Amino acid sequence: MAFESLSDRLQATMKRIRGRGKVSEADVKQMTREIRLALLEADVNFKVVKKFVKSIQERAVGQEVLKSLTPGQQVIKVVQEELTDLMGGTQTKINFALKPPTVLLFVGLQGAGKTTSAAKLAYYIRKTHNKNPLMIAADIYRPAAIKQLQTLGGQLNIPVFSLGDKVSPVEIVRQGMEQARANHHDLVLIDTAGRLHIDEGLMDELEQIKEVSHPDEVFLVVDAMTGQDAVNVATAFNDRLSLTGVVMTKLDGDTRGGAALSIRSVTGTPIKFVGMGEKMDALEPFHPDRMASRILGMGDVLSLIEKAQATIDEEKARDMQQKLLSVTFTLDDFLEQIGQVRNMGPLEDLLAMMPGANRFKGMKNMQVDEKKIDQIQAIIRSMTPGEKTDPDIINASRKKRIALGSGTSVADVNRLLKQFKDMKKMMKQFMGKGKKRNPFNLPF
C-alpha cells in the first residue's frame, strides 16, 4: 500500500501524544523530530520537510494548543491541517473553458501513464459532467501509443483522432482541434509523446502543441513510484509549459509517498487527480484533506461513501435496506450485496479507507481472501431458490449436494450458513437499537 511506512510511523507518533492531558515543549520537540525522520524516510524533499516541521513546531507550542483542554488532540489536528496544506489545501477542480471545447493537454515522461490517464479522465469527465470528448493521439514516437489510445477509446466508446505516425504532432493537434470544433466536441484530450528523460526537442514540440491548442489545463502526468525524481521532472516541465495540474499515477503501488507530499510545495502545481490502478475507472479526484486523514489513520469515509454511491445501485440499496428492516434478507440478497461491494474495487483498498484500519490487529497486511468470496458465491449459487429463502431447511443431505455442486466441503457450507445466521442476528440488533445499517459488515 502507498504511504504504508510513513503512515505507520506517523500514527505511532500520534498515538503517543493523543491522550495526553499535558503536552510540554519537550514533547512537541520529540514529536517533530520523529515526524521529520518519517518524512525524510518517505523520500519527501528535504526543504519541504524543514518548512513543514517548522510550522508544526510553531503552531504546536502556541498558546491555543498547550493551554487547551485536550492538547494531545489539538497537536494531531495541527499535524492533519499542515499535512493537508502541504498537499494543496482544498481540492482543485478542472478548469473548464467558458467557450467550449475545454482542452486538456497531457505531458510527461514515457511510461508515466499519459495515455492511460487521458483515457481515464475522458471517461471520468464524460460521466461526471456529461461531456462529449475527443481524444487526439499525438504520440508518434512510442510505437504502440496510437494503437493503445485507439483501443482504450474503442472500449470506452470515445472517438480518437489520429493521422498515424508520419505526420508531425503539431500538425496532428492542429487538425484534431479543427475536427473537434467541426463535430461539436466540448472536451478535447491530447496525448503527447514522452521521452525517457527531459530533452530540449521534446520541450520545443510541446510548446508548439500548446500554442496551437490553447489548453485550459496542462496536466503533467507523473509516476508516484519515482519519488523525488517526480519533483525534478515537474520543475523542468513547469518552467517551460506552466503546468496547471498534476495527475499522479500508480498511487496504488507501494510508493513511499515522497512525490505526492512534495510536488505541490516545490512547484506550486496542485495534484488534481490520482491514478489508483490500471482499470479505466481507477482515477480519483485528489482531496488533500482526505489524503492527510488517510495517512494519519483517520480513515477516508467520504471517499468510501462516494465510491459506494457511484457503484451501488441506489434503488437496489434502498430495497435491500427495506428487506433488512423487515428481516426478510435472504441468501440471494446476500449474494447480491457481495457482488455490489465487490464492484467497488479490491476489498483491501476499501478497508484502507476505514478509520483506524491500521489500528486493528491483524488488519494490517491482511490479504483479503478473494478466493473465499468466490467460494461463498459458488455455495450460494448451488442452492435451490427454496434453500436460499429459508436456509433452515438445509439438512445434512442437502448440505452434501450443495458442497458437491460448488466444489467445496460440507464444513465450508456449514461455515457460510453460520456466518449468514450471525449476520442476520447482528442486523436485528442494529435495527433494534435504532442504528443505521452498516453496509460493510460483511462477515469476511
- Longest alpha-carbon distance in the chain: 75
> Is 412 annotated as ligand-binding?
no
115 near ligand GDP, judged by CB under 6 A: yes
Report the helix count and the strand count for the chain, using DSSP H and E: 20, 8
238 near ligand GDP, judged by CB under 6 A: no
d(C-alpha 59, C-alpha 205), whole Å: 46
List the one residue out of 287, 275, 345 whose CA is nearest residue 117.
275
Binding mask 252-271 toward ligand GDP (x if CB under 6 A, else -) reads xx------------------
- What are the beta bridge partners of residue 187? 102, 133
**Nearest-approach distance from CB 289 to ligand GDP, in angstroms:** 21
> Is 192 annotated as ligand-binding?
yes
C-alpha cell recorded at residue 333:
440478497
Please report, as residue ranges, which positions from 143 to 172 form the binding site for ligand GDP (by CB under 6 A): 145
d(C-alpha 374, C-alpha 393), whole Å: 24
Among 238, 249, 265, 406, binds ligand GDP (CB under 6 A): 249
Among 194, 257, 258, 391, binds ligand GDP (CB under 6 A): 194
Binding mask 273-292 toward ligand GDP (x if CB under 6 A, else -) reads --xxxx---x----------
213 near ligand GDP, judged by CB under 6 A: no
Residues contacting ligand GDP: total by CB under 6 A: 21
**Nearest-approach distance from CB 127 to ligand GDP, in angstroms:** 18
> Is 108 annotated as ligand-binding?
yes
d(C-alpha 150, C-alpha 133), whole Å: 14
Neighbours of 98 (CB within 10 A): 6
Among 23, 112, 187, 246, binds ligand GDP (CB under 6 A): 112
Among 72, 88, 101, 113, binds ligand GDP (CB under 6 A): 113
Among 114, 131, 185, 256, binds ligand GDP (CB under 6 A): 114
Nearer to ligand GDP, 40 or 344 (CB): 344
> Is 9 annotated as ligand-binding?
no
Cα angle 71, 72, 74; round to 5: 60
d(C-alpha 229, C-alpha 45), whole Å: 10
> What DSSP string describes 310-372?
HHS-HHHHHHHHHHHHTT---HHHHHHHHHHHHHT--HHHHHHTSTTTTTSTTTTT----HHH
Binding residues for GTP: 108-115, 191-195, 249-252
List residues near ligand GDP by CB under 6 A: 108, 110-116, 142, 145, 194, 221, 249-250, 252-253, 275-278, 282
